Amino acid sequence: MKCYGYIRVSTREQNEDRQRFALREFGVKERDLYADRQSGKDFDRPQYKRLLRKLKKDDLLCVKSIDRLGRNYEEILYQWRMLTKEKGIDIVVLDMPLLDTRRGKDLMGTFLSDIVLQVLSFVAENERINIRQRQAEGIAAAKKRGIRFGRPPVPVPENFHEICLAWRKKEISLSEAAAACSMAPGTFYGKARRWEDKKETASAV
């Protein structure tokens, strides 16, 4: 049997040290720790996939809490059953002693573990939904206060319309027009199209 640990944080700002310390205390060696900095909405994560390729029958997978494994109810249940039933490995969730497949392999133990797993998986996904809702509400409130998100708009030079006309008449290429405006070709093209749309709307009025 070999013991592996899995760590997940959602963003680069989050610290994984607490998970790493707990797994090391449990007995997982540093070289057998796999960490992803990615959302738990699904299991399309590079280090998790590497870990799956390493895991063999009778190995042990350890995670700090069930939401570190994932935050998608259906996906957590599927991965858990695939790992324990198909791959034949054991899983330990440090924050929830009942989720230790090495114990209670009889019918009652399996039944209790399944109930706890389903409840915790539901809570994990529900928290993910709440986080997204709070983020959306925060962004909406910030926009109402006049806070802008994303990159500031690229200013156009005073002779922008002249450059646009020269480009449309094929007197200069797209890359030359973009360079004259100190823009990327895609940015110039988008602004040129919007300028033309405004011009057409004004002439129609």
Residues designated as active site: 10
Q: Dihedral sign, CA of 72, 77, 78, 83? A: positive
**122: how many CB neighbours lie within 10 A of its CB?**
13
Asked if residues 32 and 56 have their Cβ atoms less than 8 Å apart, the reply is no
Secondary structure of the chain: what % helix, strand, coil (to 5)? 55, 10, 35
Report DSSP state, residue 97: T
Report DSSP state, residue 32: G
Burial of 185 (0-12, 13-18, 19+ CB in 10 A): middle
Return d(Cα 128, Cα 41) in angstroms, integer.
Answer: 8
Task: List the one residue out of 167, 198, 202 whose CA is nearest residue 183.
Answer: 167
